[in-house]
Every structure is written in C-alpha cells, then in structure tokens.
Amino acid sequence: MNRRAVIWLSILGFFLLALPEVANAYVLSVATLILFFAYAGQAWNVMMGFCGQLSLGHSLYVGVGAYAAAGLFFHYGIGPWAGVWLAIALCVALGAAIGFLAFRFGISGVYFALLTIAFAEFTRIGFDHIQWLGGPGGLFIKVEQRDAWDLLNLRGTPAMFYYVMLTLAAGAFVICFFLLKSKPGYYWQAIRENEEAAQALGINTFRWKMLAVVISSAMTAVAGVFYAFYYNNLFPEQIFHISRSIEIILGPIIGGIGTLFGPILGAAVLAILADSITEVLAALGWEFPGVKQVFYGVVLLVVVMFLPHGIWPAVAKRMGVSR
Amino acid sequence: MTFLEIQGISKSFRGLKAVSNASFEVPQGSIVALIGPNGAGKTTCFNMIAGVFAPDSGTILFQNSSIQNLRPDQVCAAGIGRTFQIVKPFAGLSVLDNVMVGSFLKETTTLGARRVALEILQKLNLDAKANLPAASLTLPDRKCLEVARALATRPKLLLLDEVMAGLRPTECDIMVEVFRDLNRSDGLSIVLIEHVMRAVMALAHKVVVLHHGEVIARGAPADVVRDAAVLDCYLGEETEV
C-alpha cells in the first residue's frame, strides 16, 4: 500500500468516526444501511469476486443468521454475542452443504447460482412453517433502552448501531485485505480465472472453493445477527426473499467485483443514488408509482454500460492507487 | 528404480483408441521427446500422466509409486509440473501473480512466493513484464509464462506440451537454452511433446514416436529420424535436421 492510499484511508476513517457527531438521525440511518450493505457485499465478494463462485442466494445466510440469534434472544434471553456463534455455525453448515453438493458433483456457473437460489427459496418457505420462530407472522424482539448503550444485548441508540456496523465493515475490509494478499487470495483468483490451470499448479480446487463458501457464509451470518437486532422484526417473506440477495450483490457489482473497495463504494453510491432520486422526483412532483425504480434502473444500466468493471477500478486509476 | 515408468497404458474415447498399450521410461535427469503426427495420442498420454483422466488400463509409476489414479493437483504436488498446449493464463492477474500462484505450492508466505516467482521470471527473461496483466502478453510470452508457472511449483519432472510451436527460430533457440540449463544445473527431468524438430534434436536424449496411439519407435534422436517407419508416417523423406 502506498502513502497516497494511507492518506485517503485516514481521511475516510476520520470522517466515518466523526459522522454521528454531526449527522442527523436520517443521515445516520442511511449511513448504517450503507455500512450494512458494504459488509454483506464484502462477504459475497469473497465467494464471487475472489473465487468466482456466483451466489444468488446470500439472503439465506442473512436470514438464518438473523433467526438463529433472534430466536435465542426471544425464547431464552441469550444475547447476540452468544447467538452469533450459533448463527455462524448454522450458516457454515448450510454453506458447506451447498458447496459440497455443487463442487463434488461438478455443478458450476449458472447452475451453481440456481442451486444457491433454490436453497434460499426453500428455506424461505420452510420458515413459514416454523411456528416457534413466528412463522409467516414474523418474529419480534422487544424494543427497549433506546437512549443508553447496552452493547452486550445490542440494545441502544442509533449511534451505537452505527459504530457496531462500522466496526464490522472495517473488520471485514481488513480480513479481506489479508485474505486477498496471501495464499488464499492467490489460489481463489487462480480458480476464478482458470480452474483447470489452477489444478495443474497443485491447487485442490474443491477444498479452496469450500473455504471461500464457508468464510463468505460465516461473515454473512454476522450481518444477519446485526439485522435482527437493528430492525427488531423478522419475516421469512422479507429476509429470505431473492430481492434481498440481489440488493447484497448490487453493491460489489456496481463498485467493482473482486476489488476491496468495490463493495464499500458500490453500497454508498447505490444508497445515495436511491435517496437523491427520491428527493429529485419529489421536488419535481413526479410521484407516480414505479417511477423511482425506472430511474434507478436506468442509472444502473448506464454505470454497467460505461464501467463494466465497476466504479472503483476507474476511480483507483484516477487516484493513482492500486486496486 | 525408474524415475517415471509408463507401463502399457491405454485410453479410448467413445470407442476410439487414442492411446493403446503405450510403454516408455523416463530416467531421472533426462530429456525425453514425444513426437508423432497429429492425433497420435501424445497429449492424451500427457493428460494421463498429469492426472486429468486415468488410463483405461496400464500403470504409471513415478518414483516407484503409482500415480494413475491421482488428481491433477496431487500429481503436481508429487513433483510433476505441466504446461498446456492451448495456453491457459490467469488473464486477469499480472504476470508475477500468475507465477506466484505456482510458487505458493512450496512457499507459505507471500514474500517467499514473490521471491521464488521473481527468480523464475528472471531465468525465463520475463522479469521486465512482471507487472503487466497476463492478458496483454504475446503468444510466445504466454508460452513462456506457462513454463514459468509450472517451474514455480518446483517440479522434479516437467511436462512441456508444444511450447515451441509458434515461436520464431531465435526464440526457439533461447527456450532450448533455458531448458538445457534447467536440465543441467537443476537436474530437472523433462518430457516434451514437440513438432519443432529443431528443438527436439537439440534437447532430447531420447525420442519416443507415437502413431495411432502406439509406440512405433524409441531411441536416440539420431537413430529415430532414420527409422523407416517414422519417416513413413511422420517425418517424410525430405526432412532436414
């Protein structure tokens, strides 16, 4: 990493740390959401961006992680710091099962993506029938102590949730940085670029693909735990829905697949874009149903057309920092 | 003990015999060339040695253990590196990163892997292009990169599948010199599939000729090029060597 990158990172870090001091509640909620998607996008990026395994079912891990921690808290009063381990364990088991089925039987590319959708979808339908977790009516965590920080039970002010999410996003960035710059990153990228050549260089592709899936699902599980305690309500219809998976992957795609800053930049651009479209349309008085989605779609189309590798690689080139 | 011993391997694809009962040996420290017309089964032989697919029958012994049922990554870990006839660079990565993927087999740290990769790039005269994306290389350089990547795994035996094809005579001579040096100074054993007879004659200690999946001749290069059967099916009468 060069000096320029360090300076940019310091400025960004300072800005993010100081944000709750200056921002109002609305801006803070948007910033928290951006960090959430930056984190989840980073997790997805390990699988697709680094290792080339397309998952279109990451809502599965968000949902299972969320329900695991929320269920423990709701029924037994066990806090999220214990619940997160159950969430990780369940998601790793699920990820490993999907990975094993796919990689053992040579399912790859779009067929692998279909398999991930299938798992997310039947889990969504399955959770409708688990009455213990509220079924289709949803699971609700009691909202309390909004003015004090209770980190142990993850109950507190919006600023607390912001800092928790900031820590997670920064942690994910650091983990991904070290993964990408060491043996796993090299091996994953080799598998992504050409699996046959990777194998000929002594890489057990099955084992390394499994590792990518396991790390990605474990990281996403933690996002689910945060989601549960931030929103306090969970519905299978929402959390496991395929649109949730798409939301997660849009950030890294727009920001730059396989890059470290892509998921972060992409999440920020998308959230700010969605909000500014709403503002502009409201100012113009164009408030027909669906018009917001049309504009959103057109802008995404333009970005993908002109920056097929995402925004970050182009920005990095301008700033003279490495990807 | 024989270094690499191919004993009566056969392979059919949907009834078509690609390799039939082929046997040959590669002594340690030697360079063996596998030649023959297109479709003779040379690459199929390579793929069986490299673990891409197992032979239908026969055994492949490498340092006295049978390797015919190993996966490609296990064969590589056992000490056999290979290049592909149709080059398969990791196009999105830099030249250096390509070679580092290979060197991570024996090195655990990024620094160690980078050091080994740079050494090998230097040996193959690719060090000036280390930071270029592999996708930007010309074909001769891509062939060179294939070799560099395979060498980075520190093999005892190197399988070269037509690395000279498409090279100009001078580039070919440089490559020959590189392999000769690796063979002499590092004791690297090499099996090469090659149509460029200029390279075969300069490098090989022994030549094995395949035709319709069968070994029709083997021996010293000078003898094999005078063999009537070989002249008939492959080299032709007019060949100058």
Chain A residue closest in CA terms to B106:
A202
Determine, for residues B101 and A189 on separate chains, whether the beta-carbon distance falls below 8 Å. Answer: yes
- DSSP bridge partners of A139: A234
Q: Name residue A25's amino acid.
A: A
Determine, for residues B90 and A190 on separate chains, whether the beta-carbon distance falls below 8 Å. Answer: yes
Residues of chain A in contact with residue B53, where contact means CB-CB under 8 angstroms, are none
Q: B73 CB near a chain A CB, below 8 Å?
A: yes
Q: How does pLDDT run along chain A (323 residues), one tens digit per residue?
A: 578 778 888 999 999 999 998 989 999 999 999 999 999 999 999 999 999 999 999 999 999 999 999 999 999 989 899 999 999 999 999 999 999 999 999 898 999 999 999 999 999 999 999 999 999 999 998 877 667 777 878 888 889 999 999 999 999 999 999 999 999 999 999 999 999 999 999 999 999 999 999 999 999 999 999 999 999 999 999 999 999 999 999 999 999 999 999 999 999 999 999 888 888 888 888 877 888 888 888 888 988 899 989 999 998 888 766 65
Determine, for residues A202 and B76 on separate chains, whether the beta-carbon distance falls below 8 Å. Answer: yes
Q: Which fold has domain A11-319?
A: ABC transporter involved in vitamin B12 uptake, BtuC (1.10.3470)
Report A:126-185 residues touching B (Cβ under 8 A).
181-183
Q: Could you tell me if B188 and B158 are in contact, meaning their C-beta atoms sit under 8 angstroms apart?
A: yes
3-state SS record for chain B: CCCEEEEEEEEEECCEEEEEEEEEEECCCCEEEEECCCCCCHHHHHHHHHCCCCCCEEEEEECCEECCCCCHHHHHHHCEEECCCCCCCCCCCEHHHHHHHHHCCCCCCHHHHHHHHHHHHHHCCCHHHCCCEHHHCCHHHHHHHHHHHHHHCCCCEEEEECCCCCCCHHHHHHHHHHHHHHHHHCCCEEEEECCCHHHHHHHCCEEEEEECCEEEEEECHHHHCCCHHHHHHHHCCCCCC
Residues of chain B in contact with residue A198, where contact means CB-CB under 8 angstroms, are 90, 101
- Which pTM does this prediction carry? 0.92
Q: Could you tell me if B110 and B118 are in contact, meaning their C-beta atoms sit under 8 angstroms apart?
A: no
The residue extents of the domains of chain A are 11-319
Residues of chain B in contact with residue A106, where contact means CB-CB under 8 angstroms, are none
Q: Name residue B3's amino acid.
A: F
**Interface mutation target, options B46, B48, B53, B73, chain A, most CBs of A under 10 Å:** B73
Chain A residue closest in CA terms to B153:
A201
| C-alpha dihedral (B137, B139, B144, B148), degrees to nearest 10 | 60
